[in-house]
Amino acid sequence: MRMETVLFDLDGTLIDTNELIIASFTHTIEKYADRPYTREEIIDFIGPPLIDSFQKVNPDLVEEMMATYREHNYAHHEQYVEAYPTVVETINELKQAGLKLGIVTTKLSDTAKLGLKITGMDQLFDVLIGLDDVENAKPHPEPILKAMNLLHANPMTTLMVGDNYHDIEAGHNAGVKTAGGVAWSLKGRKVLEKHDPDYMLEEMRDLLAIVGVE
């Protein structure tokens, strides 16, 4: 069945914010944690909501850490952020083919919109669901269900694309097809395969055949 709606995670899926995220975590942890964290430990924080990650660092100062992280992250977006290879042209082709497109992210909406603007994709999506738009973040199905509701999308013809386990599990929980982006994921193919995505992408352009555009 041809896909009619494609929902995307943002960081690590459409735009490369990995070094920005690592820098923001490092800046925050140096200020609040009781020990240094390795790069590998910080990479494990990428994906889930900030509150979940910072609970593991210092549960007594989560709000302060989130504020520090967000201030640093927003201020340094233009220094770090760029779209992954084949992303912008693929999204444009999907848009021209008439598919409904949405962003479902654990970032705050304003910061997500900034990343889209920097990479020239701010006019390509029909809906953006950020962390501040929902009560429950991915892997809860609420963000995907809210996006589908706004787009009047059919779960049977909707695909969720992400680079992390919570994207795939949120898709499963919402009853939609899922695709894992592996060639550019810090997590790697094996981590995503454990969560049984319907498709695995080596590059974003692979989506065109999957959804029936080419």
CA-to-CA distance for 176 and 141, rounded, in angstroms?
10
CA-to-CA distance for 120 and 53, rounded, in angstroms?
30
Q: 36: exposed, middle or buried (C-beta count within 10 Å: 0-12, 13-18, 19+)?
A: exposed
9 in catalytic set: yes
Residue 12 CB coordination number (10 Å) = 22
Q: Which of 9, 11, 16, 163 is catalytic?
A: 9
Contact 183, 200 (CB under 8 A): no
Q: Would you name the residues annotated as active-site residues? A: 9
